[in-house]
Structure 1
Amino acid sequence: MTVYRAAQPEPDPLTTSSLPAVRRRRTALRVLLAVLALALIATLLFIEAYTNSGFAPDHEGPGDRAAGRVPAGIRDGGPILDATGGQARSVRVPDRTVALTFDDGPDPTWTPKILQVLRRHGVHATFFEIGAEVARHPELSRRVLAEGHQIGAHTFSHPQLADLPGWRQRLEHAQTQMLISYATGRSTSLLRPPYSSVPDALNDRDWDTIAAAGGQGYTTVLNDLDSRDWARPGVDAIVRAATPEGQSGAVVLFHDAGGDRAQTVAALDRLIPQLQQRGYRFATIAEATGTEAGAANPPASAAAVWRGRGLAWSIRLADASWWVLWGLLLLVGALTLARALLLLLFAVRHSRRRRSVTWSWGPPVTEPVTIVVPAYNERTTIEPAVRSLALSAHPGVEVIVVDDASTDGTSEAVEALGLGNVRVVRVPPGGKATALNTGVALSRNALIVMVDADTVVEPDSVHRLVQPFGDGTVGAVAGNVKVGNRRGLLGKWQHIEYVMGFNLDRRLYDTFGCIPTIPGALGAFRRRALTDAGGLTTDTIAEDTDLTMAVHRAGWRVVYQETARAHTEAPATLGQLWKQRYRWSYGTMQAIWKHRGAVRDSGPSGRFGRRALPFITLFSVLLPLLAPLLDILAVYGTFFLNRTETAIGWAAMLVVHAVTAILAFRLDREQLGPLWTLPLQQLVYRQVMYLVLLHSAITAVTGRRLRWQKLRRTGEVDAVPAGGA
C-alpha cells in the first residue's frame, strides 16, 4: 500500500469564530422567509375560503323555531323592520307600489342585464349586495347607484346570521359596509339577512339578529313576495309568484346572482309592463317608505373608504392567488400523469431492451479500472467500502482513497486492511470535488470509477458498470444505487425513493439521453470525457450533477447501467436527511443555472441545452417543487370544499404513485414488502422533502455557498443486503 502525504495548509479564514454566528443568522433568515411564505399562502387560502363560503339559495335556511320573543306587531306587520333606537316597528309598502329587490349580487353577467331591463322600463329597485362580490365587481355597485337604484347589505359571505356569535355578525356587517363605501363612496342603512323571508316566519334567534342589527343602525328589509326565481320554475311561474294580489303593495324578492338568471330577466321584462298597466309604480325601499333619497345610501367616511380599499385588494390578491394555485395544480397533475405515462411506456421498454438476449454495448470491456474514493472522517464506513472495491471481479482494479484531511483515523483504517491494490492519498482540506480531481490525476488508467466512502459495491458491479464503454460514444455511466440500511421506517421510505424516484427516473432519462446526475455513490467515466468536461469543479455543491451536465455538453453520451448495483448508507435521522437533500436540491438548481447558456450553444452543447435542460428542469426541479400543492389543496379541500371530491382526487394521485412504485420495484427486481409504508411516505416523508426544496429555493434566491457537508454515519452497511424487504 502506497501512502501519499501533503503539507498542511494555512488556516482557512472561513473557519473563524464569527462564521458559525453568521451562518446561524443566515439560516434563521431563510427559515423565517420560509415560514412567512407558508403563512402568506395559508392566509390567502383562508381569505379565499372565507370569501367564497359556499352558500345555499335564500330559501334553504333553517326551519321554523319558537317565536315567543318576536313582537306580535312585527310578525303581523310589514317587511321593513326598523329596530333602531330601541323601538321596534314595521312598515308596509303603500298600495299599488312594488319595491323590486335583488339579492346575492353584483354579478358580472346578470346584474348588467337586469339593469338594462330596469332602465328600459324606467323603474328603480334596491340591490342587496354581498360584500365579497362588491370587492370583485366594484364598478357594478357604482353603476347601480349611478342609475338611481339603492344598495343594501346582504352580509359579506352570506352566512346564516343566527348561527354566528355576535362578533361574527358585526364583522359580516362591517366588512360589507366598508366594501360598499370603497366601491361607491356611499354607505348603507339597509340590511337583508341571508335566508330570510316574510315577517311571520321570524323566530326568536332571527329576531335577536334583527334587533342587534338595529342597534348598529340598520333597517332590516324582508319581503312580501318571493318570485322563486332561484328555482328557475319558468317565466310564467316567476311572474305569477311576483304579482301582488288586488291593489296591495309588496316588497318582491328576486336574485341578480347565484346562477343562471335568464328566467329572471325575461320575467321582469313581462312583469313590469303588466303591473304598470294596472296602475302600479315601482320604487326603491327609500322611495316606497317616503324616506329622503340619500338616507339609505349616505356619504361614507374617508376612513371607511380606505379600509374598504385594503379589504378589497386583499380579496383580489386571494382570488388571484387561488387561480394561480389552481393553474399550478393542473400543471402538477398534468406533469405527474405525463411522468407516469412516460415511465410506463419508456422505462418498461428500456428494461425489456436491456434484458434482451441480443442486447450488447459492444466488445467486452476488460481494460483496467481506477476506482477513486473521496473520504472525510469516514472511519465508520470506509473498511467495508474499500474491501468490496478491492475484491471486485473486474480484472486490473486499483483503488485510490483520497483522505480530505480526516481527523478520525480514516487513512489508518484503510492502511490496516493491507490490500495491495489500494493506495491512500492524504490531501489538505479542499472538498469533495478537489479530492476526486486528485484521485483522477493520480490514476493510471483510462477508465475511472467514482464511489462514495459509505457505499458497498457488489462483486461484479464494477465490471458491469464499465461494459457500456464498449460503445465508443459513451463517456459516463450511472450505476444503480440502493439503500443499504432499510430496516427502519425512514430507511424504507428512502429505499422507495431511491427505487422509484432515482433509478426508475434514470431509465426514462436514459431513453431521452438526458441523465442529469451520475451518482457519487457509483459512477464511471472515461478519462477523456473528464478532460473534455473540464473535470470536477467547485462552482456548485452538487459536483456530480455539474460534472454530468458538462460531459453531456462535451458531446459524450451518458447512460444508465441498472445491473451495476451498489448499497449506500442513507441518513438515519431526519436532521441528517435534511442536510443531505438540502445540498442535493440546492446543488441541482446551481448546476442547471450554471449550464443555462447551453440553450444558446451550437453542436452537442446546444442539443443538450435545448432538449435535455428543459426536460430536467421540468421533472427534476419544477415538478418536485410544485408537488406540495397536491397536499396543500387536499387539506384545504377537506375543510372548505367538497370532501368527497377532495378525497377522490387525493386517492387518485396516491393510486398513480402506487402503480409507479410497483412498476419501479418490479423492474428493479425488488421485493414489494416496503411498499406498505407508501401512504405514510406520502403523508410524512414527502412533506419533509417539500420543506427541503422550499429551503433550497429560498437559498438559491437569496444566494449562499455551501461547503462539503459531512453526514454522521453509523456503519450499518457493512455488506451487501440479502433482500429488498
Structure 2
Amino acid sequence: MRAGRRGRRTDPRGHWFLVAIAALLTTGALLLNGFAHNVVGETHAPPAAGEERSAELDQVRSGGPVVNASGPRPRSLRSAARTVALTFDDGPDPKWTPRILDVLRRHGAKATFFVVGAHVAEHPGLTRRILAEGHELGSHTYTHADLAGTAPWRTRLEMSLTQKVLAGTTGVHTRLARLPYSSSPSAVGSAQLAAMRALGDEGYLVALTDLDSRDWSRPAVARMVADTLPHRGRGAVVMFHDAGGDRSRTLAAVDALLDALDRKGYAATTLTKAVGLPSAHTPAGGGERVIGGALAAAQRISAAFTGSLGWILSAAGVLTLARLAFFVSLAWVHARRTRRRRPENTPRRRRDRAPVWPAPPPVSVIVPAYNEEAGIEATVRSLVTTDYPGQVEVLVVDDGSSDRTAEIAASLGLPGVRVIRQPNGGKPSALNTGIAEAAHDILVMVDGDTVFEPSTIGNLVQPLADPSVGAVSGNTKVGNRRGMVGRWQHIEYVIGFNLDRRAFDLLGCMATVPGAIGAFRRQALLSAGGVSLDTLAEDTDLTMAICRAGWRVVYEERARAWTEAPTSLRQLWRQRYRWCYGTLQAMWKHRGAVLERGPFGRRCLGYLTLFQVILPLLAPVVDIMAVYSVAVADPLPVVAVWAGFVTAQALSGWYALRLDGERASALWVLPLQQFVYRQLMYLVVIQSVATAVLGVRLRWHTVRREGTFSTSKNLENVPGDVEPVFAEAPSKR
C-alpha cells in the first residue's frame, strides 16, 4: 500500500469482535481450569461434628457406612461378614492409580473408586481402565468441594458435572457418592447430614467408612495396616486415597493389607457387592455422553491452554527482563565508547579517534510540511539560528497544505530558506522533492512540528565524516510533556526509543532513523532508491533499505530535537496506529534481509518480531491472568511480580534519563503507565496486525497540532529544563 495514494478508508472494525471473543474464551478457559482444580468457588473447611444431637444424627452415627438418606429417616447398610470393601478417594491419578490397580489385579481383588470429576476429565483412559478391570466407580464431586459448606446449587452442579463427565468418558452413571472430608458415621454432623439428604433426594447412596487409613497424614505402613484390618470376622468399608500427594506408603499398605486379608480368609470386593446391592452403574444416554465428552474435552483444552500459557508468560517475563538488562548494558558500553571517540576528547590511541570533517560540509535541511501552520515558524527559525559553522540550506516542501503553512514559511524572509509547493502526494513524495531540489550532499530531514537546538545540526552531521556511515539518528525529545499523556510519551521516548537506539548502534541493526531528526548521505539515499511510498512508516522503510545497502546507521544522542507529541489518547492512538502498521509493512517488505549476510536482517527483524509484535499480542492475556489470579487466588504473588517488573523498568528508566541528562523525577508516572498507556499500545499492535492480515488499505492518519513552540504562551507549557533551548531564538512573529 502506498502512503500517498488516496482511497476509500476501510479500517477494520469487526476484528474487535474477534478480540472480544478471544478474551472471553481465554477468560472462560482460565475459569474452567480454576474451577476444576477447586480454585474458583466458595469451598470451606469441613465443620466439626461437635456435640450436635438429634434422632436422625443418632441413627446415622449408630448405623452402617452406606446410607440412604432419601426417605423420612436415614437407613444404612453394613458389609457382610469377612467381606472388605476397599475404597479409594480423590483419583484417578496418573501416577498412583495405575500402581494401585496393578496391586489389586495381582491379588485378584476388586475395589470402589470415588473419583473426582475433574480428574476423570483429565484422565479418561485411566477411568475406563478402572471400569474395564471390574472395579466400581463412585462420585466424589467434580472439584472435591466440601458439600457440607456449599450452597444447594453448587452441590447440584458438582454432582451433575461429575455424572456428565463419567457418561462422556465411560458411558455410565453411578448411584454411589462420598462427601469429601467425610469419615465414619460417628463423625457425621448436621451440615454433613443435610448434604447427605440432598444427595439422597438426587438418588445417591452415600458411602462413609468403617476403617479410615488416614493415609493423607502419612502414618507408618504398619500403622495403616493395623487401622484398616477388621477383627473377629466382621465386614468393613475401608478408606484409602489414590491421589492428592505421595501415595507410596498407601501403595505398600494396600499390598500388605490384601496379604493379611488373604491369610484371614477375607474377600476384597466392591462396595455394592459388600453390602449386597446390585451394581451402582447405570447406562448413560446418548445425549449425556455427547455433553460429557464435550465437557471433558473442554477441560483438557483449558488445562493445556493454562499450562502452556504459564510457560509462555514465564518465558515472556524472562525475555523482557533479559532485554532490559541487555539493553542497559549495551547503553552503558555505548555511552563509554561515544565519550572516548568524540573529536573533542583526547584518546590514548589514535585509532580510537572518531573521523572528523576537514571542513564543515554544506548541509541541506528538508522540512516536509502538511498543515503545519501551528509550528512551522518555530521549526524554521530553530534551523536558521543554528551555530553550525558550515553553509545551511533550508527547504520547506509544502505538500498541498490547506492552511497557511507555505505563506508563513515564506513570509519569514529568513536567509537560506526556500519554500517549495507541490500538490498533496504524501510525506515520502515531499521528502523526495526536497532531496531532488537540495543543493548539497549532506541532507538533514526534520518534521514540521519539531525544533532543533543550536548545536543539533553540527552534532548530527559529525558522524557522517566516517565514509561508512550512511545515516545518523538524532535524539528526539518530547517538548509538551506537562500533561499525563505527554509525560508518558516522554518516558517512552527516553527509555523505549533512545535507550534502544544506543543498543542498535552497537549491534549494527538500527531499525529507524526518526522522521523528526535524521541526517543522510545523498549517496546512501540513492542506493536505497530514495524515500519509498510503499509504507506508512517511511522513516523505518528508508532506514532498513539503507542498512540492507551496506551502510552503517548510527545514533548521536547529542543531536537533540524537540517535537510536539499528541496531547490526547485519541490523537496518540492515530499516530501509533500509523507507526505500528507502517512498521509491519516495512518488516514484510524487507523480510528478505533475514537471508542476507550481515547482522541487520536477523537482529533487527528478529527483535521487532519478538518484542514489537509477538509479546504485545500476548499482553492482553497477561492482564487477564493477573486479574484472574488476584480475584481467585492469593494476590500477593501477582503484586510482587508486578512490583518487580515496575522496579526493573524504573531502574532502567533512571539510567536512560541519566544518560539523556533528564530529571529522574519523571519516573513517578511509570506505575500509572501500566494501567492505561500500556493497554493502549498493545491494542494498537492488535489493530495493526489485524489490519495487515486482512489486507485493509489504511490511510495516513494526521495528528492535530497544538503549536507547542509557536508562541510564548505555549512555551510556558514546556518543561523548565527545555526552555533554555529557545533562549537564543529570535522573537516570534
TM-score by length of 1: 0.92
Query: Which residue of structure 2 aligns with residue 723 of structure 1?
Result: 721
Counterpart selection for 1:230 from 211, 216, 233: 216
Query: Which residue of structure 1 aligns with residue 101 of structure 2?
Result: 115
Query: Which residue of structure 1 aligns with residue 333 of structure 2?
Result: 349
Query: Which residue of structure 1 aligns with residue 632 of structure 2?
Result: 640
CA change 1:581–1:241 in 2 (3 A) is farther
Query: Which residue of structure 1 aligns with residue 29 of structure 2?
Result: 44
- What is the alpha-carbon root mean square deviation over aligned residues? 2.3
The reply on whether 1:61 has 2:46 as its aligned counterpart is: yes
Deviation at 1:64, TM superposition (A): 3.4
The reply on whether 1:608 has 2:600 as its aligned counterpart is: yes
Query: Which residue of structure 2 aligns with residue 591 of structure 1?
Result: 586
* Corresponding residue SS for 1:195: coil
Distance in 2 between the 1:239 and 1:454 partners?
A: 85
Distance in 2 between the 1:196 and 1:93 partners?
A: 18
Distance in 1 between the 2:638 and 2:537 partners?
A: 38
Distance in 1 between the 2:229 and 2:510 partners?
A: 74
Distance in 2 between the 1:397 and 1:504 partners?
A: 30
CA change 1:571–1:12 in 2 (3 A) is closer
Query: Which residue of structure 2 aligns with residue 376 of structure 1?
Result: 370
Query: Which residue of structure 2 aligns with residue 162 of structure 1?
Result: 148
The reply on whether 1:299 has 2:283 as its aligned counterpart is: yes
Counterpart selection for 1:272 from 252, 258, 264: 258
The reply on whether 1:321 has 2:305 as its aligned counterpart is: yes
Q: How does 1:109-508 map to 2 (within 5 A)?
A: 109-293=95-279, 296-356=280-340, 357=345, 358=347, 360-364=353-357, 366-394=360-388, 395-508=390-503
The reply on whether 1:98 has 2:84 as its aligned counterpart is: yes
The reply on whether 1:34 has 2:19 as its aligned counterpart is: yes
The answer for unaligned runs of 5 or more in structure 2 is 724-733
Contact residue 332 and residue 627 of structure 1 kept, 8 A: no
Please give the per-residue CA displacement for 1:279-311, whole angstroms capped at 9, x wherever unaligned. 221121111121223xx1111111111001111
Which residue identity does 2:400 align to in structure 1?
A: A
The answer for unaligned runs of 5 or more in structure 1 is 1-10
CA change 1:93–1:335 in 2 (3 A) is same
* Corresponding residue SS for 2:48: coil
Deviation at 1:237, TM superposition (A): 2.3
Contact residue 106 and residue 129 of structure 1 kept, 8 A: yes
Distance in 1 between the 2:398 and 2:148 partners?
A: 74
The reply on whether 1:679 has 2:663 as its aligned counterpart is: no
The reply on whether 1:660 has 2:652 as its aligned counterpart is: yes
The reply on whether 1:531 has 2:516 as its aligned counterpart is: no
Please give the per-residue CA displacement for 1:58-113, whole angstroms capped at 9, x wherever unaligned. 99633336745644312321221112356531212223221111111111111100
Deviation at 1:563, TM superposition (A): 0.7
Contact residue 486 and residue 492 of structure 1 kept, 8 A: yes
Deviation at 1:721, TM superposition (A): 4.7
Distance in 2 between the 1:445 and 1:43 partners?
A: 62
CA change 1:12–1:553 in 2 (3 A) is closer
Deviation at 1:36, TM superposition (A): 1.8
Please give the per-residue CA displacement for 1:636-694, whole angstroms capped at 9, x wherever unaligned. 22223443333322222222111111111111111011111111112332122122222
* Corresponding residue SS for 2:613: helix
The reply on whether 1:696 has 2:674 as its aligned counterpart is: no
Distance in 2 between the 1:711 and 1:380 partners?
A: 12
Contact residue 34 and residue 695 of structure 1 kept, 8 A: no
TM-score by length of 2: 0.91
* Corresponding residue SS for 2:113: strand
Distance in 2 between the 1:54 and 1:260 partners?
A: 21
Identity %: 50
Distance in 2 between the 1:321 and 1:432 partners?
A: 45
Task: After superposing the two structures, state which structure 1 stretch, 129-138 or 153-162, moved more.
Answer: 153-162
Which residue identity does 2:630 align to in structure 1?
A: T
Which residue identity does 1:478 align to in structure 2?
A: S
Query: Which residue of structure 1 aligns with residue 706 of structure 2?
Result: 714
Query: Which residue of structure 1 aligns with residue 570 of structure 2?
Result: 575
Distance in 2 between the 1:440 and 1:332 partners?
A: 43
Deviation at 1:566, TM superposition (A): 0.8
Which residue identity does 1:363 align to in structure 2?
A: V
Query: Which residue of structure 2 aligns with residue 8 of structure 1?
Result: none
* Corresponding residue SS for 2:87: strand
Distance in 1 between the 2:540 and 2:97 partners?
A: 58
CA change 1:12–1:480 in 2 (3 A) is closer
Which residue identity does 2:368 align to in structure 1?
A: P
Distance in 2 between the 1:619 and 1:28 partners?
A: 25
Contact residue 541 and residue 583 of structure 1 kept, 8 A: yes
Q: Where in structure 1 do 4 or more consecutive aligned residues deviate above 6 Å? A: none
Please give the per-residue CA displacement for 1:385-418, whole angstroms capped at 9, x wherever unaligned. 1211222222211122222221122112212222
Contact residue 46 and residue 149 of structure 2 kept, 8 A: no
Task: After superposing the two structures, state which structure 1 stretch, 613-622 or 309-318, moved more.
Answer: 613-622
Which residue identity does 1:710 align to in structure 2?
A: T
Which residue identity does 2:79 align to in structure 1?
A: V
Distance in 1 between the 2:290 and 2:226 partners?
A: 44
Please give the per-residue CA displacement for 1:416-461, whole angstroms capped at 9, x wherever unaligned. 2222322222222222212211211111111111111111111111
* Corresponding residue SS for 1:380: coil
Contact residue 361 and residue 469 of structure 1 kept, 8 A: no
Distance in 2 between the 1:428 and 1:66 partners?
A: 94
* Corresponding residue SS for 1:626: helix
Q: How does 1:69-108 map to 2 (within 5 A)?
A: 70-84=56-70, 88-108=74-94
* Corresponding residue SS for 1:491: helix
* Corresponding residue SS for 2:375: helix
Please give the per-residue CA displacement for 1:526-549, whole angstroms capped at 9, x wherever unaligned. 111111111222222111111111
Deviation at 1:360, TM superposition (A): 4.2
Distance in 2 between the 1:269 and 1:29 partners?
A: 62
Task: After superposing the two structures, state which structure 1 stretch, 695-704 or 483-492, moved more.
Answer: 695-704
Task: After superposing the two structures, state which structure 1 stretch, 665-674 or 381-390, moved more.
Answer: 381-390
Deviation at 1:144, TM superposition (A): 0.1
Query: Which residue of structure 2 aligns with residue 620 of structure 1?
Result: 612
Distance in 2 between the 1:565 and 1:12 partners?
A: 32
Contact residue 376 and residue 710 of structure 1 kept, 8 A: no
* Corresponding residue SS for 2:686: helix
Please give the per-residue CA displacement for 1:114-156, whole angstroms capped at 9, x wherever unaligned. 0000000111111111111111110001000000001111111
Distance in 1 between the 2:12 and 2:441 partners?
A: 43
Please give the per-residue CA displacement for 1:34-69, whole angstroms capped at 9, x wherever unaligned. 22222222121111211222499x996333367456
Which residue identity does 1:723 align to in structure 2?
A: D
CA change 1:246–1:387 in 2 (3 A) is farther
Distance in 1 between the 2:44 and 2:561 partners?
A: 68
